[in-house]
Chain A
Amino acid sequence: MKRNMRQKNMQAYFFLSPFLIFITVLYILPAILTVAMAFTKLDSAFIWEFNGLNNFRKIFKDPNTIIIIKNTLFYVLVTIVFTVVLDLFFAIMTTYFIQDERKGNLFKAILMIPMITPAVVYSVLWIWLLEATDTGLANQFYLALGGTQAVNWIAQYPFTVVILATLLTSIAYGTTVFSSAVKSIPENQFRAARVDGAGEWEIVRNIILPNLRFHITFITLWETLGLLTNYVTIMLITNGGPGVQTEVWALSSYHKAFADSQYGYGAAISVLLILVVMVLMLVIAAVMRRQEKSQG
């Protein structure tokens, strides 16, 4: 029995090993090199000159660092709160309230459109929509509603714009996960609640939400991870500006490395982000373990 088990494990390891090698070569090794690079003065000449902790000193000396940290926290917290609330809303609406699965799926498919649209196309649409001239679509509405002159939406409300744009691309994933979770709640729980005279809001609050608590934790952490490391939408719509008003941590690393050719400095910023991401990954792993235990 034990031997069979070990043999089965070996087979699994054998099938997994190509992926492990792939990830090691493409992710873990470069990550280690990024850490090494963080202690260098690597610039456009690409010569490795170690400079100790200078890059980290620079990060902490830069007054923009505080602004960028605040931006990152604001961006992640606001986006995550709205994402999870909307995910839950859409999941419950399309799965619990709309009993016709085809109609619910159609709605979820519509939600997926921003997610599956290439980031460049999606961002250009936002820029076009919010163009600061009379011909911009948002301004045409605004002027038709009595506005006196065209508004420079992206420059005046940069964070609102990037959060909205990010939000629309984020909700499909969480909605799909929550929908599956709602579907997996045994029907007899709902029936028992109705027999006891529970209203729909009480069912949502006392049956659906408690059943989804691990999923909510998982999605919150997962999306946080994504928001911390993904900056493409921000880069394409505001490029971190005006000034550093929408500059977030990951984007600042990209700018230092690829726009300013300060690869060592950019790597140092990345290293700090990697540390945060690693802590979050450990938390996700712990949540998964707890979930398994509670289900087991």
Chain B
Amino acid sequence: MKKLLSLLLAAAMAVSALTGCSGDNNSSAGNAGDEVTGTVVLKVAHNMDFVTIPDAVLAAGERLNAKYASEGRDLKIEFETDYSSIDWTEYHNNVIFAQKNGEGPDIFSLDSDVAGFVKANMLLDISDMMTEDFVDGIFTPFMVDGKAYGMPFDLPVRVIYYNKAALKTIGWSDEQIAALPQQMASGEFTWEQFLALCAEVQSKGAAEWGLAHRPGAGNDFLDVMMTLGGEYISEDGKLVFDSEGLQRFFQEIYDNANVTKITPTNLSQMGWPTINKMVGDGTAFAYYGPIYSATYVAGAVEKTPEQFAEDVGFAVFPASQYNSQPFCIAAPQGMGINANTQYPEICKDLFRELYSGESIGQLSHHADTIFTLSSVKAANEMEDIKTNPILKEVGYMADLSISEPNVEGFTTFVTEMHKQIVLLELGQTTPEQAVADLKTQVEINLDADIVVYK
């Protein structure tokens, strides 16, 4: 069946190649420069189960319609939505195929492969939207060759979760627990101390496991590598293969599972629900991942945000003996405008309405829903965010956040790296062998000119 699907895919690609990949939209529109009138239907595509991002666009559309009506302008925006909850690679392919069939969305959520969409000529350059309204540097993940191709809708940082109750069990006072995030952010409490804390909590029986992570491939692991002084993106935006940094990171992954045993060896064989529950109910003392995972973690143990914030604290990645700068990585979600849309200006108006119009509240509502800060400064000042029990504790992280640029070959690197992580945790390879094997795969799968070897 899969084989048949892949063959069908091939056929579809060939047909689209032969037909010239036209990307015209379906609604009536005048020539370039003419004012659009009448009813305009915009297609909006989104992936994943929280739909507050596309809903914000739809709400902005309603406000614009009201504005057009009040100005006496003959223009009404309607939407066709296409929401899915599938693997991001599959979603990416669906959007490109839809475009090749002439049915591409006008506005769509972006995966991490922004460069792929740009190469496929599917994204409009929206560099003119990089205004002071946004948090500094938040456009970085959507930049390709110095141009912005996506609008960031939030500022979800990747952080360390830790269980406050476990700290209390081992004798920490409320003041000590409350002070921990700031100590980690200031460099006073280091990564080495944090790992020792994980081991202590576990050895004293306050948690079954000291430290957990996601079950599959993901960028969270790179945060630990960076904490250990590893580099993976060069200053000029290329993928870096840092042998020393990787060696340290792999050694730590191996040690955590097989020496100090603070991480279960079979963590990668567990599913998300199991891991979310482990973090939510305190079976695992600490966890590293995006802050918006808190929605899933809280859901797994049926806790309200208030209850969850009582039990779980958040901290940035602290300094270590290899990296003196505490940090957290911002991985914003965003939407792009199809370069082939018939209505680029209307799509841009929708985005402007969201970040500088009356619809900013939609962005703060989105941020509040998925427990993340907003990409827009004004939204971060709104009640939704200021009163969110989780977000009000992590506002300071915006100042420590770093945005990663879009790097070619990154997905392959992360996927291959995760294979080694699984083997290391199972004790089926050594850190040295893991570095050598990862290097071989990177050399084979990625062109030499896109990787810097250190």
Instruction: Look across to chain A and name the residue whose beta carbon is closest to the beta carbon of B3.
Output: A229
Among the stretches A140-148, A260-268, A282-290, the one at the interface with B is: A260-268
B22 within 8 A of A: no
CB distance from B357 to the nearest CB of A (A): 33
CA distance A61 to B429 in the complex (A): 21
Instruction: Look across to chain A and name the residue whose beta carbon is closest to the beta carbon of B447.
Output: A41
CA distance A188 to B126 in the complex (A): 85
CA distance A34 to B10 in the complex (A): 6
B303 within 8 A of A: no
Instruction: Look across to chain A and name the residue whose beta carbon is closest to the beta carbon of B419.
Output: A243
Contact yes or no, A241 B419, CB < 8 A: yes
CA distance A240 to B419 in the complex (A): 10
- From the candidates B4, B17, B412, B419, name the one contacting A244 in the complex (CB within 8 A): B419
Q: How large is the interface on B (under 10, 10 to 19, 20 to 34, 35 or more residues)?
A: 35 or more
Contact yes or no, A64 B441, CB < 8 A: yes
A29 within 8 A of B: yes
Of residues 96 to 153 in B, which have CB atoms within 8 Å of A's CB atoms? Answer: 96-97, 100, 113, 116-117, 119-120
Main secondary structure of the interface of B (DSSP, over half): helix
Contact yes or no, A260 B415, CB < 8 A: yes
A205 within 8 A of B: no
B6 within 8 A of A: yes
CB distance from A255 to the nearest CB of B (A): 9
Contact yes or no, B445 A58, CB < 8 A: yes
Among the stretches B30-38, B54-62, B287-295, B420-428, the one at the interface with A is: B420-428
A296 within 8 A of B: no
CA distance A178 to B283 in the complex (A): 53
A37 within 8 A of B: yes
Contact yes or no, A258 B6, CB < 8 A: yes
CA distance A250 to B5 in the complex (A): 13
- From the candidates B2, B113, B422, B440, name the one contacting A44 in the complex (CB within 8 A): B113
Contact yes or no, A152 B119, CB < 8 A: no
With most chain A CB atoms within 10 A of its CB, the pick from B2, B3, B89, B96 is: B3
Q: Could you say which residues of chain A place their CB within 8 Å of the CB of B412?
A: 260, 262
CA distance A44 to B111 in the complex (A): 11
Contacts A64-B441, A132-B266; is A241 near B6 (CB within 8 Å)? no
Q: Could you say which residues of chain A place their CB within 8 Å of the CB of B366?
A: none
CB distance from B214 to the nearest CB of A (A): 15
Q: Could you say which residues of chain B place their CB within 8 Å of the CB of A235?
A: 2
B7 within 8 A of A: yes
Of residues 412 to 439 in B, which have CB atoms within 8 Å of A's CB atoms? Answer: 412, 415, 419-420, 422-423, 426, 428-429
CB distance from A51 to the nearest CB of B (A): 10
CB distance from A48 to the nearest CB of B (A): 6
A107 within 8 A of B: no
A42 within 8 A of B: yes
CA distance A47 to B269 in the complex (A): 36
CB distance from B314 to the nearest CB of A (A): 27
B444 within 8 A of A: yes
Main secondary structure of the interface of A (DSSP, over half): helix
- From the candidates B8, B10, B116, B445, name the one contacting A45 in the complex (CB within 8 A): B116
Instruction: Look across to chain B and name the residue whose beta carbon is closest to the beta carbon of A156.
Output: B426
B178 within 8 A of A: no
CB distance from B274 to the nearest CB of A (A): 8
CB distance from B412 to the nearest CB of A (A): 6
- From the candidates B89, B113, B120, name the one contacting A47 in the complex (CB within 8 A): B120
Instruction: Look across to chain A and name the residue whose beta carbon is closest to the beta carbon of B14.
Output: A33
Instruction: Look across to chain B and name the residue whose beta carbon is closest to the beta carbon of A43.
Output: B116
- From the candidates B89, B265, B411, name the one contacting A152 in the complex (CB within 8 A): B265
Contact yes or no, A26 B8, CB < 8 A: yes
CB distance from A59 to the nearest CB of B (A): 9
B11 within 8 A of A: yes
Q: Could you say which residues of chain A place their CB within 8 Å of the CB of B164?
A: none
Contact yes or no, A31 B7, CB < 8 A: yes
Contacts A63-B440, A261-B89; is A132 near B269 (CB within 8 Å)? yes
B92 within 8 A of A: yes
Contact yes or no, B17 A152, CB < 8 A: no
Contacts A30-B8, A33-B10, A261-B116; is A241 near B422 (CB within 8 Å)? yes
Q: Could you say which residues of chain B place their CB within 8 Å of the CB of A265?
A: 445
Q: Could you say which residues of chain A place their CB within 8 Å of the CB of B7?
A: 26-27, 30-31, 33-34
CA distance A243 to B116 in the complex (A): 27
Contact yes or no, B6 A270, CB < 8 A: yes
A242 within 8 A of B: yes
Q: Could you say which residues of chain B place their CB within 8 Å of the CB of A154?
A: 269
Contacts A29-B11, A46-B96, A262-B445; is A243 near B440 (CB within 8 Å)? no
CA distance A36 to B17 in the complex (A): 13
Of residues 238 to 256 in A, which have CB atoms within 8 Å of B's CB atoms? Answer: 241-244, 250, 253-254
CB distance from B178 to the nearest CB of A (A): 34
Contact yes or no, A231 B2, CB < 8 A: yes
B29 within 8 A of A: no
B1 within 8 A of A: yes
Q: Could you say which residues of chain B place their CB within 8 Å of the CB of A46?
A: 13, 16, 93, 96-97, 100, 120
Of residues 198 to 257 in A, which have CB atoms within 8 Å of B's CB atoms? Answer: 229, 231-232, 235, 241-244, 250, 253-254, 257
Instruction: Look across to chain A and name the residue whose beta carbon is closest to the beta carbon of B422.
Output: A242
- From the candidates A42, A232, A244, name the one contacting B2 in the complex (CB within 8 A): A232
A66 within 8 A of B: no
A187 within 8 A of B: no
A196 within 8 A of B: no
With most chain B CB atoms within 10 A of its CB, the pick from A257, A265, A266 is: A257
Instruction: Look across to chain B and name the residue whose beta carbon is closest to the beta carbon of A262.
Output: B445
Q: Could you say which residues of chain A place their CB within 8 Å of the CB of B4?
A: 26-27
A positions within 8 Å CB-CB of B: 25-27, 29-31, 33-34, 36-37, 42-48, 58, 61-64, 132, 152, 154-155, 229, 231-232, 235, 241-244, 250, 253-254, 257-263, 265-267, 270
20 pairs, CB–CB < 8 Å, chain A vs chain B: A27-B7, A31-B7, A33-B14, A37-B13, A45-B116, A46-B13, A46-B93, A47-B119, A61-B444, A152-B265, A152-B269, A154-B269, A232-B1, A241-B422, A242-B419, A243-B422, A253-B6, A254-B2, A261-B411, A265-B445
* The 3 A-B residue pairs with the shortest CB-CB distance in the complex, in nearest-first order: A30-B7, A45-B119, A44-B116
B positions within 8 Å CB-CB of A: 1-4, 6-8, 10-11, 13-14, 16-17, 89-90, 92-93, 96-97, 100, 113, 116-117, 119-120, 265-266, 268-270, 411-412, 415, 419-420, 422-423, 426, 428-429, 440-441, 444-445
Extra contacts besides A44-B120, A62-B444 (16): CB < 8 Å: A29-B11, A33-B10, A34-B7, A45-B120, A46-B96, A47-B119, A48-B13, A62-B440, A155-B269, A231-B2, A232-B2, A242-B423, A243-B420, A258-B90, A266-B6, A270-B6
